[in-house]
Amino acid sequence: MRDQRFVAHIDILGMSSIVERDADLAWELLSELVAVRDRTSNYALEFLDTNELIAISDAIQSVTFSDTILLFTKDSSDINLRCLIVLVVEMFHKALCRCVPVRAGISFGTFYFNFEKSMYAGPALIDAYRSGEAAQWLGVALSRLVQDRAAALNMMTGKSHVVVPWDLPVKDKVNPCQVVTAPSLVVNWPAVVARDLTVTPPISIEQFYQPFESTFGVIAELPQEVRRKYSNTVEFLNVHLIRHTAA
């Protein structure tokens, strides 16, 4: 069981097209994401319901390669999963604040690493990547392998649950060019970061997308499948932000 861990895969949306168009901009966005990683890795988290104070560096390790940040826990304990969920949401939020569009997947299972030889592998890594990549939005998806564990933590932010059910738009497994909705449990990031949001919901797609326009161009000129990712994100954001503020 020593190699059973929780793993999170975070990557920048549309990075390959940015690299092809402007390598300097791509490097700038990646640098911003790494800056977020470095800042959050120094955090300590206090969980009032369990009366625990945990330093992120004692629970989670990270590595960056290409446009991806990989986070993984030191063991398979509930407290490490709690820390990972909070850290991923914080990184997701801070990345958006720096105009870096990201999505994340969290999974659980066997994961091996060797820092000295830069070796990272295991089913949990593949599953975290696939969970995040399949989701057609900017958000934090949970693999089927971790959903029950995450829900059982009963994490709350105010009166809102941190893990919530959602019909998540995902790539169809049979035909990846098609998008279907799958009943899932996902991370309720709008509720977690609600106090830092200055815009009153409902938020329009244009409002949400505006910080990314200088990087990707006007939203009307984006491919339909890309626009859909932003509209899916805004739908989730509005539903849970309105629900949280009304609680």
Predicted local confidence at residue 35, as pLDDT: 87
Predicted local confidence at residue 111, as pLDDT: 96
pTM summary value: 0.93
Predicted local confidence at residue 2, as pLDDT: 65
CA atoms within 13 A on the CB side of 182: 17
E strand residue ranges, 37-115: 44-47, 52-55, 60-65, 68-73, 102-110, 112-114
Count the Cβ atoms, other than its own, within 10 Å of residue 97. Answer: 13
Predicted local confidence at residue 70, as pLDDT: 96
Predicted local confidence at residue 98, as pLDDT: 86
Predicted local confidence at residue 172, as pLDDT: 84
Bridge partners, 11 (sequence order): 68, 103
Predicted local confidence at residue 52, as pLDDT: 81
**Domains of the chain, first to last:** 4-246 (3.30.70.1230)
Closest among 26, 184, 211 to 106, alpha carbons compared: 184
Count the Cβ atoms, other than its own, within 10 Å of residue 120. Answer: 16
- Where the chain has pLDDT below 50, the residues are 1
